[in-house]
Structure 1
Amino acid sequence: MATRARRTQRRNQVLSREHIIDTAIELLDAGGEGALTVRALTERLATGSGAVYYHVGTRDELLDTATETVITAALATKPAQASATPAEEIRAVALALFDAIADHQWLATRLTLQIIRNPVGPVTVGVFERIGRQMGALGVPQARWFDAASTLVHYILGAVSQNARIEGDTSGVEPAADREEFLGATSAAWQELNPEDYPFMHAIVGQITEHDDREQFLTGIAIVLDGLTRLR
């Protein structure tokens, strides 16, 4: 019994919380939430389930921690310029979140769940604080700070989620489907619409295959920011 206890102690000393979280993120990136099981994690780490529970708790707690780890790193992103404007600060964190979800397809669902389920958690508070602290500098009246920050956060979450594969999607679209092929098929389908009934769709049909997702995302940020400055 004493020998077993010493082995467990040595293993727990080597197996850090950070290593477990990093490995969990690797599994999530490779196969989504379905790939993250305690069995898969223990096999990858060559350890027992007790060590995992000891360091990170349940699977749901591990998912929350993995989400927090990725989002915290994204929120730490700073603009390239040392003396950045409030708009540049917001664009920097917005793009960091956009890129984080592009790199971690499972993250869109988990981030949304965190915002909804845990309003006092580090993810929700971190996102709102990083965005919201720029409201005063933008000239938004304090009485409108919550509405203004919420509008930006809702746009960012909605836009980045739209560009990610949502966990549980049953549309039949493969997560690795070729973007150009998908947009080309969509453009061709829109061209088949009756131009008298859908004049706008026909006017933009050539733009869908040429647009850049990140540039489109930044255009949306610019539109929201322009609207916020008018609250003054």
Structure 2
Amino acid sequence: MDTSKAEPGTHRSGAAGEVWLRPPARRGRDSPPLSRDRIVEEAVALLDAEGADRLTMRRLAERLGTGSTTLYWHVKTKDDVLDLALDAIFAEVGIPSGDGRGWRAGVTALIGGWRAVLLRHPWSAALLSRPMLGPNVLARSEFLYATLLEAGVVEPRLTAAAYGLSNYVIGSGLMQATWPAGGQEDVRAAAREHLRANRERYPALASHGPLVVEGDWDAAFALGLSWLLDGIQAGVTGGDGAG
């Protein structure tokens, strides 16, 4: 169903990402006194406080002190709200300036900023499989692709490099965000005991598994990112036709 021509205030079902493919409602004399920006601001606050499972259009309208009809003037579905909220938090990811430090420094700063945002908004990592077509996301994706191109990374390695970096930061953010709060040592102790009891079956994990070896989230992330960048750089300088 084509919802791009729906009249403001008409509630129709839509798909993830669709909000970016239709024009926003035009404000006029009879428009409700509520802005899309205000809706998104309150949606992010609700998501930060309670997570995506607790977000409903009714609860969002209640937090805004308005009715659902007013809310539907600006956003048609919960998917619209999630897409807008995801793009809004990406505005917090700084786009590195060209300071002459090289492509690795730029990519490292971008990916580090992205990780910080995922950790500030722990609901977000699990939703990043959605179509990401908002202006904030696209501006940062453009920087990543342009920086890799300038470094000499070309297809098919360009897409592989960008996906590898994106998947790494999303996976890392999701793992850290869902780690049991306050129960880290209890979980590790149980994991150590389980792997010790099954050492013959899992000898490598019993000695070196991530739930057994104590570590620092930041240091582990930085080391893994460095390894990814080493691989990308090797493909440019020593690969067969990569750059």
| TM-score class, shorter | 0.7 to 0.9
Q: Which residue in the other structure is 1:72 paired with?
A: 91
Q: CA deviation at 1:125?
A: 3.7
Q: Which residue in the other structure is 1:201 paired with?
A: 205
Report the CA distance shift for 1:147/1:11 in structure 2 as closer, same or farther (over 3 A). Answer: closer
Q: Which residue in the other structure is 2:225 paired with?
A: 221
Q: Is the 8 A contact 1:72 1:126 kept in 2?
A: no
Residue 98 in structure 1 maps to residue 95 in structure 2:
no
Structure 1 CA distance for aligned equivalents of residues 175 and 203 of structure 2: 24
Unaligned runs of 5+ in 2: 1-27, 237-243
Residue 38 in structure 1 maps to residue 57 in structure 2:
yes
Structure 2 CA distance for aligned equivalents of residues 211 and 121 of structure 1: 36
Unaligned runs of 5+ in 1: 1-7, 166-172
Segment of structure 1 superposing worse, 121-130 or 32-41: 121-130
Q: CA deviation at 1:162?
A: 2.5
Structure 2 length normalisation: TM-score?
0.72
Q: CA deviation at 1:11?
A: 8.7
Structure 2 CA distance for aligned equivalents of residues 210 and 53 of structure 1: 49
Report the CA distance shift for 1:127/1:206 in structure 2 as closer, same or farther (over 3 A). Answer: closer
Report the CA distance shift for 1:104/1:197 in structure 2 as closer, same or farther (over 3 A). Answer: same
The structure carrying a bigger helix percent of its residues is: 1
Q: Percent identity?
A: 28
Q: Superposition RMSD on alpha carbons, in Å?
A: 3.0
Q: Is the 8 A contact 2:88 2:136 kept in 1?
A: no
Residue 56 in structure 1 maps to residue 75 in structure 2:
yes
* Helix, strand or coil at the partner of 2:91: helix
Q: CA deviation at 1:121?
A: 5.2
Report the CA distance shift for 1:184/1:100 in structure 2 as closer, same or farther (over 3 A). Answer: farther
Q: Which residue in the other structure is 1:135 paired with?
A: 148
Q: Is the 8 A contact 1:72 1:123 kept in 2?
A: yes
Q: CA deviation at 1:105?
A: 2.1
Segment of structure 1 superposing worse, 127-136 or 47-56: 127-136
Structure 2 CA distance for aligned equivalents of residues 9 and 45 of structure 1: 21
Q: Which residue in the other structure is 2:176 paired with?
A: 163
* Equivalent position to 1:183, from 183, 188, 203: 188
Q: Which residue in the other structure is 1:168 paired with?
A: none
Q: 1:138 is aligned with what amino acid?
A: A
Structure 2 CA distance for aligned equivalents of residues 25 and 40 of structure 1: 13
Structure 2 CA distance for aligned equivalents of residues 206 and 124 of structure 1: 31
* Equivalent position to 2:32, from 12, 21, 35: 12
Q: How many residues are treated as equivalent by the alignment?
A: 209
* Helix, strand or coil at the partner of 2:181: coil
Q: CA deviation at 1:211?
A: 0.8
Q: Which residue in the other structure is 2:197 paired with?
A: 192
* Helix, strand or coil at the partner of 1:140: coil
Residue 21 in structure 1 maps to residue 25 in structure 2:
no
Structure 1 CA distance for aligned equivalents of residues 175 and 186 of structure 2: 17
Deviations 1:154-189 (A, max 9, x none): 222222223233xxxxxxx8x535223323322332
Residue 111 in structure 1 maps to residue 128 in structure 2:
yes
Q: Which residue in the other structure is 1:230 paired with?
A: 234
